[in-house]
Chains A and B, each alone.
Chain A
Amino acid sequence: MKLRIPTTESLLRVACILALVALPLMVWSLFDGTVWPVLIALSVGQGLGTLSFFLFLVAIARDLHLKRKLVAASKETERERQSSRPPAESAQ
């Protein structure tokens, strides 16, 4: 079974939601410097924040990869079109 990466829009939405959960967790320890807020900020908060940024990078890398493929495909099409033209036509 091939793992399919969700669309860029979905990835970015998930990344945004994860970051919106992570940010308050990271900031919580500033207001309550007891053991659980600090531990959660340094573990869960950091983990979710890192995951959201990773998803953003995956979305960007995917877009760049697709863009590169599209550019390569259009160049290939252009090359085929030029090679299929009759020589007389290309001489004119």
Chain B
Amino acid sequence: MTSGHELDAMGWVSVVSAAMAAVILIVHLVRRREVTTTTRVWLLMGLGVLPIVTAGTANIAGFEATQSRKFCGSCHVMIPHAEDSGDPKSLSLAAVHARNEYFGQNNCYTCHKDYGMYGYVLTKMGGMRHVYLYLTEYRNMPLSESKPSIRILKPLPNANCMHCHTTTAPDWLEVPDHASSLESVRSGKLSCASVGCHGFAHPMTKLGKELELDGGARP
């Protein structure tokens, strides 16, 4: 995976093939040669084969980049969420999970993705909706306004939590609150990230009223 300015093998393949294609195209444009069979073969490389390699590898890298916290936090209204979850001192649910190696730099995607069969496609479609809403509604909204007003479309399904936290393990069932609310948790009636349970994943965006219900702000 490509993160920041570090290129992995696929990134290098993409850059090198793009550079080779660019050299072929520039030479063709500068030399103004007659179009012969040899020219056509070179242009097939410069306009077809090499750009297809570039597009393929850059697409994979691009889709992988869409899973990173850096990508999610690149819209200003998501900066508080991204900064908090990357804060090593934060005790919010999002930050605690981000410190787990399994979530790491992709913690937004790992929690918010759709785990169904077409999960990846559905998640990306949802992401396009976010881009549309950002362009049409939230682009010029100050953080003071966006923090208390932007909310998740529908509550995070418990199934996403249960993807890692099984509700059948003896250790989990030994917790009295888990045992008493087992059916509600499994059916999704009671959210794991709700007031009285594990609290909000992103408490820094909540209104005072919401925090009071949750027992006060967390550090």
Contact = CB atoms under 8 A, between A and B. Distances in A.
A20 B22 contact: yes
Highest count of chain B CB atoms <10 Å: which of A12, A27, A33, A60: A33
Interface stretch (A46-54, A72-80, A82-90): A46-54
Contacts of B18: 23-24, 26-27
A46 B29 CA distance: 22
Contacts of A19: 21, 25, 46-47, 51
A67 to B, nearest CB: 11
B129 interface: no
B51 A53 contact: yes
A61 B46 CA distance: 17
A16 B28 contact: yes
Contact of A49 (B7, B15, B29, B55): B55
Contact of A16 (B29, B55, B59, B66): B29
A33 B58 contact: no
Interface string A22-35: 11101101110111
A17 interface: yes
Nearest to B52: A53
Given A33-B3, A41-B62, A42-B59, A27 B28 contact: no
Nearest to B40: A60
